[in-house]
Structure formats: structure tokens, C-alpha cells
Amino acid sequence: MLAALATRIAVAVVTVGIAASAHAFDPESTLPINVDATGIALKGYDPVAYFTDGAPMPGDEAITAAHDGVTYRFASAANRDAFLAAPASYIPAYGGFCAMAMSLGYKVDIDPNAWKIVDDRLYVQANERATWVWSEDIPGNIAKANGFWPKIMDKAPAELR
């Protein structure tokens, strides 16, 4: 009972303050990738820019690429081309759901400005607080999230509450 309460508190900490976005999160979606209603991933941010610019960059609506039925936007054609050459190198972990929440067994929306690259993998978070909590034990949280992901990747976020 105490563990369940601790998990609920941790999820509340992660989800409080999630930035509002024109790219709406669908808590009923069973897709393993966090997309908006139009199929845009990463809230329209360029997944390559995290690696090349060291910062999140909004993608241009005119510069896109599709991968696994999902549309990604890019800040430049060069970033789009880099993505198309090696998409697995740039796609965020856990389908672009919050890495901290995933370590607790939940699929939670993200703020594209809350992120970290670890071992050449992009991890996005619900907010800066989630990034801070996740950073307290990155290897442990990744291990826990890796354990949950195959079990819940095809479940709706609302189903996991």
C-alpha cells in the first residue's frame, strides 16, 4: 500500500506542470509512439537538433519525414536527411513518452524542452522536475523503464493510471 502511494506521488510530481501545447496528447491512444491527433511526433520538434545543436528546436512544417507511420518535423533539410539515413539514431526512447514516468510503468506526455541524451539515446521528460528526479539514478531508471516498455508500449496511457 505504501509503495502504491509512493508511485502515485511520483507520477503526480512528474505530470504536474506539463506544458500546454497545440500538439495535443491523446491519453486513449494505444500507439507506441507519442503523437498528436495529426500524427506529429515529439510535439513538432526536430529530433536531430538535440544531437547536432545540443538544444531542442521546433521543426518547420514544410520539412518533414515519415517513419513507421509517424511524421517528424525538422529545422533544416540537412537534419531531415540525417534522420532518414539513420532514424533509429534520433528517435526518442520509449516512443517519445516521459522516461521518468516510464520507469514507474506509465505513459505520460512530454515537454520537448525537458530532455537528456545518454549513451547516444534521446530521453524526453514530462517537465524539468521529472528530468531532475530521473537524473538522480539514470542507469536504474533506464533499467526500470526498459523493463516496463515492452509490457505497456501498446497500452493507452489512460489504461495505466
Q: Return the domain boundaries, the chain.
A: 2-160
Task: Place 20 in a pLDDT band, splitting at 50, 70 and 90.
Answer: very low
Task: Place 24 in a pLDDT band, splitting at 50, 70 and 90.
Answer: low
Residues 6+ apart with CB under 8 A from 161: 106
Query: Could you give the CA distance from residue 53 to residue 69 in angstroms, rounded to a whole number?
Result: 26
Task: Place 25 in a pLDDT band, splitting at 50, 70 and 90.
Answer: confident
Q: Which of 33, 59, 34 is nearest to 47 (CA)?
A: 59
